[in-house]
Each structure stands twice: as structure tokens, then as C-alpha cells.
Amino acid sequence: MKLKPRERIFIKEYIKTKHGTKSAIKAGYSKRSARTTAAELLAKPNISELVEKGLKNLEEKIELSAEKVLRELTLIAFANVTKCFDEKGRLRPLHELSENQQKILSSVETEEEFLRYSGKKVKCGYVRKIKTYDKVRALEMLAKHFKLLTEIQEINNNDVQVILTLPANGSEKKEDNKE
């Protein structure tokens, strides 16, 4: 089935944004009915097939995969920031850091220090401040991925207290305690 020009634009925009309403508006459909139009367009087999192919091509193009995401989270979670410093405790120049060491740094700031000497400002050194990505957050995300965290929720319903325990293996266990 041949596509209409607006349908082609919709597909192109949807692949970029993954937002149906915005894509429909960009394609020239009415703002009022853009959400419905987007749902209808995505329900058409030929359009949904092209969207899926486009998204898959995009993922391949940018080499996006669950494995890559887990690898980056693991890198941040288990990074040893001391490897970024030399034996005297000075931050190594960025070009001397390995690619993995560079990936754990979210920012590096350099501040020059000056002294007044005979009425002149003389540079006496510098201070480098580094900031790494959140190690605890990366560990938490990995723990959730591997279902290592347990959540407990208490629900009070009149005289019955229900405690749901979601163990690490993902199965549910119910306990009823009457007061």
C-alpha cells in the first residue's frame, strides 16, 4: 500500500521522537485530533512495520543494546576513581586516562590560584575538582535489573493488614494478619 506524504513525514518524525502526538502535528495533522490520528496511523500494519524497521535501524546505527547499557552501568558502579590520580595524588591529564576512566567522570573543573607579590598577581598553582557519575544509583539500577531488591508494602483494609513481600526472585507471597 502506497503511503501518503503526511504518513511518510509522520513515520520519519515518530522514529526520531517516539512521540505520536507531536509526530502527527509535525506531519500536518490537526492538533485537536493528533493523538487519535497518531494511534490510528500506528495501528495500520504498513505504517507500524515501517516504524519498527526504522527504530531497529536507528538502534543498530547508534549501537544501542541492553548489553551496552548494562556494561556502562557496571563501569560506573564498580569504578575505582583512585586510578584517575598519579602516585602524588594529582589528577592525571585527561588524555592520559583510559577510555573507561574518562567515562566515569561527569565533570572536571580547573581553578587557577594566584598570590599577590609586590602588587602583582602571580599564578601559584591550580585546583582540579572532579565529579563522577552516581555510583550508588548505578548499583541500584543494576540491582533492580537483576531483581536483587525486595520491596515491602503494607495495605490496611479495615481490620486486616496485608503485607506483600516481593522477594528477589520476583514471585509474590501474601500474609494475612488479623488484629
Residues 153 and 125 both lie in one domain: no
Are both 96 and 130 inside the same structural domain? Answer: yes
Q: What is the pLDDT of residues 87-113, one digit of tens each?
A: 998 999 999 999 999 999 999 999 999
Q: What is the pLDDT of residues 21-44, one digit of tens each?
A: 999 999 999 999 999 999 999 999
Residue 154 lies in a domain: yes
Q: What is the pLDDT of residue 155?
A: 57
What are the tens digits of pLDDT across the range 126-152? 888 999 999 999 998 998 888 887 665
Same domain, 76 and 129: yes
Average pLDDT, the chain: 85
Is residue 142 in some structural domain?
no
Residue 151 lies in a domain: yes
Please report, for the domain that includes residue 23, its CATH number: 1.10.10.1400
121 shares a domain with 90: yes
Domain membership flag for residue 118: yes
| Domain contains 45 | yes
133 plus 75 within the same structural domain: yes
SS (H, E, C) the chain: CCCCHHHHHHHHHHHHHCCHHHHHHHCCCCCCCHHHHHHHHHHCHHHHHHHHHHHHHHHHHCCCCHHHHHHHHHHHHCCCHHHHECCCCCECCHHHCCHHHHHCEEEEEEEEEEEEECCEEEEEEEEEEEEECCHHHHHHHHHHHCCCCCEEEEEEECCEEEEEEECCCCCCEEEEEEC
Does residue 133 share a domain with residue 76?
Answer: yes
pTM of the shown model: 0.51
- Please check whether residue 98 lies inside any domain of the structure: yes
pLDDT value at residue 171: 46
How many folded domains does the chain comprise?
3
Is residue 51 assigned to a domain? yes
Mean local confidence (pLDDT), 109-131: 90
What's the domain range around 29?
5-61
Q: Are residues 45 and 85 in the same domain?
A: no
Whether residues 130 and 152 fall in one domain: no
